[in-house]
Structure 1
Amino acid sequence: MPRYEVTIEKDACDGIFACLTRDPRFVEGADGLAKIDPGADPVYDCEGSVDDDAERVVATFDDDRLEEARQAATACPTDAIVVEEVDG
């Protein structure tokens, strides 16, 4: 399975939340911007690490849901989400 990172750039996120309809791991944060919560998916047990700082949210996953993350990134009208495969 691929290992990949999902990054949300907070400055670019406008809280439109098109990503939420493509991947249930995306949720609305208290600040009105998109966040990533691996446990938010009601169907799949999902594990991942999430780093959230003042500039961005970066989540790393090692599962078979890369395409869902890519669809969420594609749906973002402000291009705030980047999905990249990473090594080991």
Structure 2
Amino acid sequence: MTEHARYTVTVDRDACDGVFACLVRDPRFVEDDDGLAGIDPEAAASLERTDATVTATFADDRRGDAEQAAAACPLDAIAVRDAADAEVEP
């Protein structure tokens, strides 16, 4: 079994405007109750939601899907990072 590098995907809820270009690039993105992009909690190893962000951690081979979703967001509301990098950010 191949071990995959852990990575995080963060949706900036303040920047998101519900365009949902991410949903067609990666099915782990979903529309949340507020009409903004969110992440399916069942698809993530862990998920943290605040008023300002939704951050999910993954350890799979689908980072490219998440990066395509982030690139498709016209508002730059999605960030994909190595999990180790996300842990040291303030």
Q: Could you say whether these structures have the same fold, taking a TM-score greater than 0.5 normalized by the shorter chain as the test?
A: yes
Match of residue 82 from structure 2: 85
Q: CA RMSD in A?
A: 1.0
How far residue 47 of structure 1 moved from its aligned partner, in angstroms, is: 4.0
Which among 5, 16, 20 is matched to residue 17 of structure 1? 20
| Normalised TM-score (structure 2) | 0.85
How far residue 2 of structure 1 moved from its aligned partner, in angstroms, is: 1.4
Unaligned runs of 5+ in 2: 85-90
C-alpha distance in 2 between matches for 1:47 and 1:35 = 12
Higher helix share: 2
C-alpha distance in 1 between matches for 2:54 and 2:83 = 16
Match of residue 35 from structure 1: 38
| Normalised TM-score (structure 1) | 0.87
Sequence identity (%): 57
Aligned amino acid, residue 24 of structure 1: P
How far residue 85 of structure 1 moved from its aligned partner, in angstroms, is: 1.1
Tell whether 2:67 aligns with 1:70.
yes
Q: Secondary structure at the match of 1:72?
A: helix
Structure 1 pair 22–14 and aligned structure 2 pair: CA distance change class (3 A): same
How far residue 37 of structure 1 moved from its aligned partner, in angstroms, is: 0.4
**1:38-72 deviations in Å (ceiling 9; x for gaps):** 43xxxxxx442110111100000011110000000
Aligned amino acid, residue 72 of structure 1: A
C-alpha distance in 2 between matches for 1:47 and 1:58 = 10
Which among 7, 10, 13 is matched to residue 4 of structure 1? 7
Q: Which runs of 4+ in 1 moved over 6 A?
A: none
Q: Secondary structure at the match of 1:15?
A: coil
Unaligned runs of 5+ in 1: 40-45
